[in-house]
Every structure is written in C-alpha cells, then in structure tokens.
Amino acid sequence: MRVCYIVGPKDPGDQLRYSLRSLRNLDHDGVTIAGYIPQWVTNVETIPVRQTRTKHANVRAAIKEVCARYDRWVLHWDDVFTTRPTKLEPANRGTVRSLVDSFRQRGPLNSYILDIEKTGKVLERQGFEDPLAFDCIHIPQIIESEHMIRAIEVAEKHRVNAVLTLHGNLAGYGGPEIENAKKETGWQNRTFVSTSDRRWPTAVGDYIRSLFPDPCQYER
C-alpha cells in the first residue's frame, strides 16, 4: 500500500526526514505527502492542501484529498517511526470506555480524551455496543477511504475530532490492543515509536537518529 503523510502548515524538519528513513522497515509501494510539502523531499507524490483553518479541519481536508486518490492506504504522521521490520495490521487502544477510564483515574480529562469519549458515545448511538479506540495510539494505520469519508462526515456532523476511532469501528477493524507509541518509557522495545517537539532533541530522538543515520530515496 501507499504510505501517505499528512503534514501541517510548516516544515516538520528532521522528524519527517527520519520517519521517511524508517519506512525501510515497512513494506510499501511509494509515498505521498498531503498538506505542506517540504522543499527537500523527492521521489514522492504531492497533494498541496491549503492550511488556513483549525488543526483538525486542516487534517480532515488533507485526508479527504488522499481518499479521493487512493481506495486503501496507510495514514502516517511525521513524528512516527518504524524501528524494525514489520507487517502493518490494525491495532487499537482497547475500548473507548476502558481508555477513558484509565485516564480518568489519573485526574481530570484533557480535551483530547474528552473528545474520544464523546466520539465513543456517538458510535454507541449508532449501534456500536462497546466501540474500540483507534486514536491515542500514534502508529501508522491502514485506511479504507470509503469508511474514512463516512467517518469525517460523522465527525463534522457531531463536532468531534477522533476520526480514526470512527473509521476503525466503521471499517470493522479489531486487532490486538497495544500501548501508545508516544509513551515516554520503553521505546527501545517498541516496533512503533512516536516523539514530540519536546522529546525529539533528547533521548528518544537520539535513539531514532542512531537507528537511521543514512539518507533514503525520499530526501535530497
């Protein structure tokens, strides 16, 4: 499948560069970048998308453009890395209810988890008895465009943002329950690792840079 990156309104720099290098561990038949197109990328298909709205609206707009081009593809983020050869399969964070409860035990819920909770309730009203969570996982995800377009329609109608959770349930995905790839410990033992602007300059960033020191075919 084609790997498609959704890139925000500014150059993500080295994280995207090393994410592209890590694709040597993920079987794929090319790369597409939608959104902002860094000048240093090469040998990729590009889908420029205007980035003039909110973060979530920008992401949805870029995803729609990718869905219009491919029926089945891999959604990737610039801060996600595949650390060892693997075959990509659907995976989840458990049920929405259990995910939200685990965060509630730690304290007040932030807006991100509250949105996932609201999305789960939307799915319950649509007949999904105990929907699974496909957000808050930060790994590459296989997308079925037919179901993603429907997921975006539901998200915009009900004013929620957890389109990956909507998509995964609409597509009938299951798979194993895995931990968040952005977890700040244990990253040396994970197939998928996700960083952040804060964490990239230090230990986990050093780890990723050490794994992929050589340029790849997608960078100048």
d(CA 15, CA 193): 12
Per-residue pLDDT tens digits for 51-72: 888 899 999 999 999 999 999 9
pLDDT digit string, tens, across residues 95-148: 999 999 999 999 999 999 999 999 999 999 999 999 999 999 999 999 999 999
Q: Apex CA 63: angle with CA 69 and CA 39, to 5°?
A: 85
In which residue are the tokens 């990239």 written?
Answer: 200
Task: DSSP letter for 51, please.
Answer: -
DSSP 71-109: SEEEEE-TTEEE-S-B-----B-SBHHHHHHHHHTTSS-
Q: Which domains does the chain have, with CATH numbers?
A: 2-211 (3.90.550)
Q: Is the pLDDT of residue 209 over 80?
A: yes
What is the percentage of the chain residues whose pLDDT exceeds 90? 93
